[in-house]
């Protein structure tokens, strides 16, 4: 019985750990590239956690590209296509293919910009080095990328304090002096006077009726 209880407890703990782990994953981006010009295949996944994890995969199928996503047709450009598993949004990123010349393990960096609501805003990508473009060597056919990634959230800046518009005298072009603050009686005298008169007149009538009866 104790063994059964321990098994159930371990199963519950594993389920809880899976739920927590899934809640910490903001999104998963499938990574496709055109290492072979004109052919895009998936080579990994970016798991947007803290910190971001990159999982390398064996060559997978080609992506379904949206009509709005423009992929570079120039064979001299190396391109990466990121596809969100959460929203299906796509990001096409490219750079000169010569940056990978002679690199067996080129460094690549993904900077994922997200909004405060965890929405994907933009992705910045860099790989290899511009110095490699001076090298005439043919790029390695299957480089093992050294991948790093980071998530940056958009921060709401402070709200500026807006000053009141200046009151300019059009005849002189100078700022007018501020008007003195009016008192409550000066502002609302036309409401107060009728009320006072009504109260005064209304108080005299009962006295006249009493005198008449006498």
pLDDT of residue 12: 40
Q: What is the pLDDT of residue 31?
A: 92
**53 vs 33: CA distance, rounded Å:** 18
C-alpha 111/C-alpha 122 separation (Å) is: 8
Q: For the chain, what's the residue count?
A: 214
Burial class (CB in 10 A: 0-12, 13-18, 19+), 183: exposed
Q: From CA 103, how far away is CA 129, in angstroms rounded?
A: 9
What is residue 129's predicted lDDT score, i.e. its pLDDT?
92
| Beta bridge partners of residue 122, listed in sequence order | 113
8 A C-beta contact, residue 71 and residue 92:
yes
175: which DSSP letter?
A: B
Which tokens is 104 given? 């067996």
| 8 A C-beta contact, residue 113 and residue 122 | yes
Give pLDDT, residue 77. Answer: 93
Residue 65, classified by CB atoms within 10 Å of its CB into exposed (0-12), middle (13-18) or buried (19+), is middle
The predicted model scores a pTM of 0.60
pLDDT digits 0-9 by tens, 99-143: 998 888 999 999 999 888 888 899 999 999 999 898 777 777 778
pLDDT score of 109: 95
User: What element of type H or E holds 112?
Assistant: strand 107-114
Supply the pLDDT for residue 62: 74
156 in Cβ contact with 115 (< 8 Å): no
Domain parsing of the chain, residue ranges: 20-153
Q: Which residues of the chain have pLDDT under 70?
A: 1-23, 58-61, 67, 162-166, 202-214
């Amino acid at each position: 019985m104790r063994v059964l209880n321990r098994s159930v407890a371990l199963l519950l703990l594993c389920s809880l750990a899976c739920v927590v782990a899934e809640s910490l994953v903001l999104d998963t981006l499938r990574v496709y590239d055109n290492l072979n010009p004109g052919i895009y295949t998936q080579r990994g996944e970016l798991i947007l956690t803290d910190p971001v994890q990159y999982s390398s995969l064996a060559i997978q199928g080609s992506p379904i590209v949206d009509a709005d996503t423009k992929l570079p047709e120039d064979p001299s450009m190396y391109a990466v296509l990121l596809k969100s598993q959460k929203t299906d949004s796509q990001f096409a990123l490219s750079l000169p293919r010569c940056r990978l010349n002679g690199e067996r393990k080129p460094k690549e960096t993904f900077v994922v910009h997200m909004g405060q609501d965890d929405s994907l805003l933009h992705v910045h990508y860099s790989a290899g080095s511009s110095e490699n473009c001076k090298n005439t060597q043919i790029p390695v056919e299957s480089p093992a990328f050294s991948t790093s990634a980071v998530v940056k959230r958009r921060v709401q800046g402070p709200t500026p304090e807006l000053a009141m518009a200046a009151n300019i005298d059009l005849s002189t072009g100078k700022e007018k002096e501020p008007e003195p603050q009016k008192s409550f009686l000066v502002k609302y005298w036309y409401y107060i006077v009728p009320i006072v008169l009504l109260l005064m007149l209304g108080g005299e009538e009962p006295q006249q009726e009493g005198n008449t009866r006498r």
